[in-house]
Amino acid sequence: MSKHVVILGGGLAGLSCGYELVQCGHRVTVLEREPHVGGMASSFIEDGEEYWTQDFGPHRFHSQDANLIGHVRDILGDNVVTAQRLSRIVLFNKFFDYPLVMKNVLTSMPRWLLVKALLDYAWVRFLDSTKLRKYDDVSFESWTTRRFGRTLYKIFFGQYTEKAWKMSPSQISADWASQRITLLSLWDTIKKTMAKPKKGETPRTLVTEFIYPKYGGIGELPRGYARRIEESGTGSRVLTNAPAVKIHRDGMHVTGIEYGKHERQVIEADEYVNTIPVTALAKCLAPKAPESVIKAADSLEYVAIVFVYLKLNRPQVSPDSWVYLPEKHLTVHRISEFKNFSPYCAPKDKTLICAEITCRRGDEIWRASKDKLIELAEKDLMSVGLIGKGEVLGATIRKIPFAYPVYDLEYKKHLQPVIEYVSGLTNLKTTGRQGNFRYNNMDQSVEMGRKLGQELCTGEETGHAAVATGQEYFG
């Protein structure tokens, strides 16, 4: 029997879930707050005399799962290119491969610093193995120092993390390190990047190629899902400019969603799927959730990002999909160049750089004027020699308020009661990056959404909640 399912949030998790539901004949209504679908995987297109696209920072679809790649190809149709993966770190005005490659570290790091790094790595290993000093795996700082030594930790991981998260790495959970640092220690880096693979062993490859839309930016994927949902013949709709503001309930049974910017409406369904921040969900229940749950939700924080897009009068800045800028004196922490994802993202003789600056909602950066932000980004990129004077042709600013869930040392303690409470809602399931407060990638949001959709179709458990909970490398 066909059901009506209301999905909160039109990002990849919500839309991929909706896509699966319409495949088995259910009617879906997606409520999306913004005027466009895509969430963090949105793209903005300028299609006038020249054609430009902008994503929210770099969006490289990595997955080793052939089925998933096949599915994404199916959604994108023939609007697809294969791009080469390259991302590096700029330090001491030189490029370092990321993930680290030992030969490159040895040749590019100042000699004295290299000696210091190797000595203190040996010292940290000695202290740790003799238990003279205990390095635990609780904080990012301790996890990384234990494996790379103090100097390499500071240069390659610590200063970048502090800049990107706007907090001390000693206060960030080691969960983030284990999912984001592919090589497990300095020794592992040496072994895997210097030694020749043994006979029969496949050489170490990170995902070296990835697929990306030829035109339209990564936002073509969510737009593709939205089209498929609306054209499914099930009467399904994807509503934009439709923020969910209240979740009405009778006990733990959801009875309807109140939504709308100015005029409010209530929509009722058989089942509900949530992909908006779980903290927001917990706070808009009517009647209200217990005070302890609201307090826990208020204790969970997010890093926000300001994106400065600079149109440049040159064909390319670097061949990288993105470049990290960890040095403390720079405000920007990462840049990406969309032309290296698809050459059609900018005119042939020009390019566009997206400079990211993390902040907290309401702080000085969040409130800074457009001119100030452009000036900061231009100055930083000139100071590391990535762009020259007078090359900027124009600039745009965009912001996302809930970019990175903050994995501080206490986050699990606060998250648990929130997830536990909303899991008690009998006809609502929460999923996706925001719906789980989980720092996952696009492929994982798609997997979660599809698995949940399939579960609602068949009634059989698919394990959607377990996606991206392991210690696997997220890329």
Where along the sequence are the contacts to ligand FAD (CB under 6 A)?
A: 8-14, 31-34, 39-41, 56-61, 243-244, 275-276, 280, 305, 403, 432-434, 440-443, 445
Nearer to ligand FAD by Cβ, of 139 and 336: the residue is 336
Amino acid letter, residue 250: D
Contact indicator for 288, 302 with CB cutoff of 8 Å: no
Q: How far is the CB of 336 from ligand FAD (least distance, A)?
A: 8
* Orientation angle between helical segments 111-129 and 140-152, nearest 10 degrees: 130
Nearer to ligand FAD by Cβ, of 249 and 433: the residue is 433
Nearer to ligand FAD by Cβ, of 61 and 148: the residue is 61
Nearer to ligand FAD by Cβ, of 313 and 318: the residue is 318
Q: How far is the CB of 265 from ligand FAD (least distance, A)?
A: 13
Nearer to ligand FAD by Cβ, of 40 and 419: the residue is 40
Question: Tokens in use for 180?
Answer: 């984001």
Q: How far is the CB of 83 from ligand FAD (least distance, A)?
A: 11
Nearer to ligand FAD by Cβ, of 116 and 248: the residue is 248
What's the rounded Cα separation, in Å, for the pair 149 and 109? 15
> Scanning the structure block, which residue is given the tokens 């403390």?
328
Beta partners for residue 351, in sequence order: 312
Nearer to ligand FAD by Cβ, of 12 and 312: the residue is 12
What's the rounded Cα separation, in Å, for the pair 420 and 422? 6
Question: Left if phi > 0, otherwise alpha if psi is -120 to 50, otherwise beta: which for 182?
Answer: alpha
Q: Which of 29, 11, 9, 24 is nearest to 268 (CA)?
A: 29
Q: How far apart are the first and last CA of the chain?
A: 40
Reply yes or no: is the peptide bond before residue 287 cis, omega within 30 of 0: yes
Q: How far is the CB of 125 from ligand FAD (least distance, A)?
A: 33
Nearer to ligand FAD by Cβ, of 186 and 395: the residue is 395
Q: How far is the CB of 121 from ligand FAD (least distance, A)?
A: 30
Amino acid letter, residue 387: I
Question: Tokens in use for 100?
Answer: 């680290």
Q: How far is the CB of 124 from ligand FAD (least distance, A)?
A: 31
| Distances in whole angstroms, Cα of residue 220 to Cα of each of 216, 237, 321 | 6, 18, 18
Query: Which secondary structure element, helix H or strand E, spans residue 398, and what is its range?
Result: strand 392-405
Q: How far is the CB of 181 from ligand FAD (least distance, A)?
A: 16
Q: How far is the CB of 404 from ligand FAD (least distance, A)?
A: 7
Spell out the alpha helix ranges (H) of 24-59: none
